[in-house]
Chain A
């Protein structure tokens, strides 16, 4: 049993570090990427996986501590996985509506204009 706990410690440590590294990369992307639309990618993706890994680590640890499946983490991560694309969609929609500038070299910028125009017609 002690051996099992020892190994599970390594697993938990690995998951937590991976999660933190992904969160860090996601936030670094928020600082570094050149325009709003590219910045939209970093938090929605990297942070989701970062949260998933951190919560998985916590799930393993608490489940072994209490000798029963600890389900709260699953609920939180499921909630985040469902809401992340929705909030990205809504913020992105607001951004094309406000005609946020794109970085030079973006392919097909006219598609964004078309989407914004259709959005304008609706109201």
Chain B
């Protein structure tokens, strides 16, 4: 039963990622695109967690942790670039 549930949840998150992709393409401004990227990486963490549940393996958490950290840093760097025109002061 759990496998079916995990697959259904993965399908929902896939649709959610498509929504993010639509916003990423449509824009209209770069701030919207950054927001879409931010949501996209959070969704992908959820997808990796579900993959770990599907395979019953705890190894995927390292990947999820890495994506969480890199995603936050890239969002912060992009926002800072918009504010200052420069990332490292």
Contacts and interface: CB of A to CB of B under 8 A. Distances in A.
Interface in B41-76: 42-43, 45-46, 49-50, 52-53, 56, 58, 61, 64-65, 68-69, 72, 75-76
Interface residues of A, number: 49
Contact of A55 (B9, B49, B84): B49
Interface residues of B, number: 47
A115 interface: no
B2 interface: yes
Interface string A65-107: 1100010110110011001001100110111011010000000
20 contacts: A9-B1, A12-B5, A13-B2, A16-B9, A16-B50, A17-B8, A19-B9, A20-B9, A20-B13, A23-B42, A24-B13, A27-B20, A30-B23, A40-B35, A47-B39, A51-B42, A54-B46, A72-B58, A76-B61, A83-B68
